């Protein structure tokens, strides 16, 4: 088993592609066949596997989630700003962990698939993703 923590600094709310960094962690593990688990260590961000060829797919997903979970003036949990509670709801709707097969020392993603950190905060902090690879 190989475990590493990757740290990301998103500049905005939305999808940040992290496929390259996760792929590097898999290659450095030396594991040729197995599984890679990703776990985001936050309650206001998520993970997803999504199309990485056409940026309009990411834009549409970002707009859709923002429309689905807008700020509501009746939210009580607003101590970190008006995006506080919406970010927690969005993290419930998105994944906090993912499993991706490892084949021939690489992530076994489909042709148009990429791994994304889905940032839900307007002014995001650094984000930590625990990457665990095993045979």
> Could you read off the pLDDT of 8-26 as tens digits, one per residue?
999 999 999 999 999 999 9
Domains and CATH numbers, the chain: 2-134 (2.60.120.460)
pLDDT score at 8 = 98
Predicted pLDDT at 10: 95
pLDDT at 47: 98
10-38 as b/e, with b when 16 or more CB fall inside 10 Å?
Answer: beebbbbebbebbbebbeebebeebebeb
Angstrom CA distances, 112 to 12, 39, 52, 57, stand at 23, 22, 6, 11
Global model pTM greater than 0.75: yes
In this predicted structure, what is the pLDDT of residue 28?
Answer: 97
**Token couple for 34:** 């197995």
């Amino acid at each position: 088993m190989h475990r590493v923590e990757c740290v990301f600094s998103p500049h905005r709310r939305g999808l940040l592609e992290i496929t390259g960094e996760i792929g590097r962690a898999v290659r450095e593990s030396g594991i040729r066949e197995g599984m890679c688990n990703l776990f985001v260590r936050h309650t206001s961000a998520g993970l997803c596997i999504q199309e990485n060829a056409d940026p309009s797919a990411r834009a549409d997903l970002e707009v859709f989630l923002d429309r689905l979970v807008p700020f509501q003036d009746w939210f009580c949990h607003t101590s970190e700003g008006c995006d506080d509670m919406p970010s927690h709801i969005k993290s419930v709707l998105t994944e906090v962990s993912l499993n991706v097969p490892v084949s021939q020392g690489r992530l076994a993603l489909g042709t148009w698939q990429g791994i994304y950190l889905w940032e839900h905060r307007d002014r995001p902090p650094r984000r930590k993703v625990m990457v665990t690879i095993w045979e």
